[in-house]
């Protein structure tokens, strides 16, 4: 029997949206959607899946946040916060607690 993994929670998604808006507020010139695309490509590895045709070939799929587990999404958010602190010198944790 395959263990079911819990996908990201609504609370985690809301926190992520706040983080994206904080990035937009840094006057970087990027929108929240721009940041979403940039960050998922920076921090999430492409998925490799078996081909449905022969079951052997591997196909790379674009990174996505929608299938991350709660643990994976939490780590993803932590990476973004660390990136923001390094890049902008702002600790977003002060706005998230």
pTM of structure: 0.81
Tens digits of residue pLDDT in 52-79: 777 666 767 788 898 899 999 999 999 9
Q: Which helix (H) or strand (E) holds 26?
A: none
Could you give the number of structural domains in the chain?
Answer: 1
Q: Does a structural domain hold residue 79? A: yes
3-state secondary structure 62-94: CCCCCCCEHHHHHHHHHHHHHHHHHHHCCCCHH
Q: Does a structural domain hold residue 46? A: yes
Name the residue range of residue 39's domain: 10-84
Q: Does a structural domain hold residue 3? A: no
Longest dimension (CA), the chain: 50
Q: Which two tokens stand for residue 69?
A: 């587990």
């Amino acid at each position: 029997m395959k263990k079911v993994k819990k996908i990201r929670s609504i609370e985690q998604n809301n926190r992520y949206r706040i983080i994206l808006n904080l990035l937009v507020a840094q006057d970087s010139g990027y929108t929240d959607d721009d940041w979403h695309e940039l960050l998922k490509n920076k921090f999430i590895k492409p998925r490799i899946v078996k081909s449905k045709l022969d079951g052997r070939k591997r196909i790379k799929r674009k990174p996505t946040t929608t299938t991350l587990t709660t643990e994976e999404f939490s780590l993803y958010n932590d990476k973004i916060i660390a990136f923001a602190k390094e890049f902008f010198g702002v600790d977003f944790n002060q706005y998230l607690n």
